[in-house]
Amino acid sequence: MPEPEMSKLTATKRKWAVEGKFLTGRMTRPETERLPPGQHLVKNWPVLDLGQRPEVSKERWRLDVRGLVMHPMTLDWAALHELPQSDSLSDIHCVTTWSRYDNHWRGVKIRDLMDLVHPKDEANAVMLTSYDGYTTNLPLADFASDDAMLVTDWEGQPLTEEHGGPVRLVVPHLYFWKSAKWLSRIGFLREDRPGFWEKNGYHMRGDPWAEERYSED
């Protein structure tokens, strides 16, 4: 699937990466602090995408899990809901400097998915692909963290299209561009490689507490 075209917002965010915008230089996390450096709190949930919002019905939605796994599979909506369903509470932090506390999620924990597909020993990273052509990478350790989920519900309601429904990834301990919306494919890789934003000046990992907003290059 080809990568999406460069929208006005995308071009602006790429410029931010070049300029190092929003960086504070504070790299430590005091135990008493909940808000990462350079972030501000919001009560709403801002909508950010690449300007190509796909319409994916629950009936049409499929998730392919491929690459370095023992048991490749394709999940449809019914198969996803046959997996163990979990609830989670977490904060989210966007690289554009907003954070939102106490989000209630429901979905399938990544660790439960991995129990089914069994990543091979040589797998060290994943590449996520969305229905709009967006891609982003994750080290396997981050992808397999206890708080990572395939999310179908937020605040007790089905996840809306604008927020990545019917299914998105949520990895709350990293900046939210790593939590791909409209998820269509998970590819397990031997070596980490950059996705869309990572090719456009953003960090390969994206830890909010280390202010890993932009590439070190």
CATH of the domain at 190: 3.90.420.10
Give the per-residue pLDDT at 48. Answer: 72
* pLDDT higher than 50, residue 36: yes
pTM reported for the whole predicted model: 0.84
| Angstrom distances, CA of residue 13 to CA of 17, 96, 97, 172, 214 | 6, 8, 12, 21, 10
What is the span of the domain harbouring residue 110?
A: 67-199
Give the per-residue pLDDT at 18. Answer: 58
44 is a domain residue: no
Confidence class of residue 30 from pLDDT cuts 50, 70 and 90? low
47 is a domain residue: no
Give mean pLDDT, residues 54-60.
Answer: 95
Contact 66, 185 (CB under 8 A): yes
**DSSP H stretches of helix in the chain:** 8-19, 77-82, 110-117, 140-143, 196-199
Give the per-residue pLDDT at 17. Answer: 52
49 is a domain residue: no
* pLDDT higher than 80, residue 39: yes
What percentage of the chain carries pLDDT values higher than 90?
80
- One-letter amino acid for residue 25 of the chain: G
Half-sphere exposure of 57 (CA within 13 A, CB side): 2
The DSSP secondary structure of 99-124, one letter per residue, reads EEEEEEEEEEEHHHHHHHH-B-TT--
**For the chain, how many structural domains are there in total?**
1
62 is a domain residue: no
Could you tell me the maximum CA-CA distance found in the chain, to the nearest angstrom?
Answer: 46
* pLDDT higher than 50, residue 193: yes
60 is a domain residue: no
What percentage of the chain carries pLDDT values higher than 70?
83
39 is a domain residue: no
Give the per-residue pLDDT at 22. Answer: 47
135 is a domain residue: yes
Place of tokens 């932009």: 214
The tens digit of pLDDT for each residue in 160-183 reads 999 999 999 999 999 999 999 999
The tens digit of pLDDT for each residue in 76-105 reads 999 999 999 999 999 999 999 999 999 999
| Token digits of residue 197 | 């934003």
33 is a domain residue: no
